[in-house]
């Protein structure tokens, strides 16, 4: 089966749930936080919780909407502890119920241990309601939707979500209008890594069969290009990171 067909079939059966990874900010770790960081790293691959991650079963036909990699309380503890230790957290959340779990944890982390310029991320944010878009903006989070998913998995997404919820898939215009940073991302090798293909899909929002998928979420070519060239600056908090620009070079290559 071709890769794109396999992906569409997988998505139509169940949307993936929530897992997470974290990247350290520059600087030595706080000794009191070392044990918590190690625990998160060692257990990051577990997928033993089969709770639904979608608020509505996919397409109204499937009893199982997805899965969570961690129980809600377990994920909350991990995120709050990683935030307290100075980490920048990147949490996978595709369905809207999984997104609620992640948003609750990020909100508690920020309230309990205030920090500035944190740039916590939500990988994919594949299905987001208007209220969740507003909440992401309020919390200062960075969602990372993938334009290429719209073409390579879009037909499966529409089959799984149905026409009403299909408009909530991989939102982009709504994030920009809410003042949220929108980085370009391919999620390669899951889909094609060519940034021009991703830009095309962010602008046109068509599935492989040509069906529109959330056309109101389209961005302009300039906005898509900016998202793609600024992804490095928005993805981490290290001071050496910078946006791509003509003639730019990496800090390590400067004399």
Query: Would residue 13 count as lying in a domain?
Result: yes
First-to-last alpha carbon distance for the chain, in angstroms, is 50
CB 122 within 8 A of CB 183: no
Residue 24's nearest CA partner among 96, 81, 76, 82 is 82
Q: Judge if the upstream peptide bond of residue 247 is cis by omega within 30 degrees of 0.
A: no
- Taking alpha carbons only, the member of 239, 148, 150 closest to residue 197 is 148
Average pLDDT rounded to a whole number, residues 136-141: 96
The pLDDT value recorded for residue 16 is: 33
**Which tens digits make up the pLDDT trace of 167-224?**
999 999 999 999 999 998 888 898 989 999 999 999 999 999 999 999 999 999 999 9
> By three-state DSSP, how is residue 128 classified?
coil
Asked whether residue 232 is assigned to any structural domain, the reply reads: yes
Return the top range by mean pLDDT from 17-21, 188-192, 239-243: 188-192
In a domain, 190, yes or no: yes
Question: Is residue 246 in a domain?
Answer: no
Most confident of 17-31, 50-64, 78-92: 78-92
- Of the two residues 66 and 139, the one the predictor is more confident about is 139
Q: Which domain holds residue 100?
A: 3-237
Determine, yes or no, domain membership for 181: yes
Q: Within 113-250, where are the H helices?
A: 130-139, 148-152, 154-166, 173-177, 195-204, 221-229, 231-235
The answer to whether residue 103 scores a pLDDT higher than 80 is yes
Contacts for 152 with CB less than 8 Å, ≥ 6 apart: 4, 7, 8, 191, 192, 208
| pLDDT at position 149 over 50 | yes
245 in a structural domain = no
pLDDT score of 13: 32
| 84 pLDDT higher than 70 | yes
* Residue 97 domain-assigned (yes or no): yes
Confidence grade of residue 48 (pLDDT, cut at 50, 70, 90): very low
- pLDDT of res. 185: 87
- Tell me what the mean pLDDT of segment 106-132 comes to: 95
CATH number of domain containing 211? 3.20.20.140
Query: Residue 245: which pLDDT band, with cuts at 50, 70 and 90?
Result: low
The answer to whether residue 249 sits within a structural domain is no
Span 44-73, average pLDDT: 53
Q: Is pLDDT at 65 greater than 60 in this prediction?
A: no
Mean predicted lDDT score pLDDT of the chain: 75
Indicate the pLDDT class of residue 56, thresholds 50, 70 and 90. low
Domain count, the chain: 1
CB 68 within 8 A of CB 17: yes
């Amino acid at each position: 089966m071709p890769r794109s067909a396999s992906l569409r079939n997988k998505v139509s059966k169940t949307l993936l749930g929530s897992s997470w990874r974290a990247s350290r900010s520059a600087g030595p770790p706080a000794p009191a936080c070392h044990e918590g960081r190690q625990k998160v790293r060692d257990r990051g691959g577990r997928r033993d919780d089969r709770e639904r991650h979608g608020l509505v079963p996919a397409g109204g036909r499937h009893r199982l909407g997805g899965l969570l990699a961690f129980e809600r309380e377990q994920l909350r503890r991990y995120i709050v502890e990683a935030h307290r230790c100075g980490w920048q957290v990147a949490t996978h959340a595709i369905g809207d119920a999984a997104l609620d779990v992640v948003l609750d944890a990020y909100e508690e982390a920020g309230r309990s241990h205030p920090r500035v310029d944190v740039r916590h991320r939500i990988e994919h944010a594949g299905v987001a309601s208007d209220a969740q878009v507003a909440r992401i903006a309020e919390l200062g989070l960075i969602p990372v939707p993938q334009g290429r998913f719209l073409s390579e998995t879009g037909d499966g997404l529409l089959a799984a979500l149905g026409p009403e919820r299909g408009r909530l898939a991989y939102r982009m215009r709504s994030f920009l209008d809410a003042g949220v940073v929108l980085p370009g991302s391919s999620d390669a090798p899951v889909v094609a890594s060519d940034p021009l293909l991703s830009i095309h899909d962010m602008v046109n929002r068509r599935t492989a069969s040509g069906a529109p998928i959330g056309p109101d979420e389209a961005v302009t070519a300039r906005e898509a290009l900016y998202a793609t060239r600024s992804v490095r600056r928005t993805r981490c908090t290290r001071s050496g990171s910078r946006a791509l620009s003509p003639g730019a070079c990496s800090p390590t290559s400067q004399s």
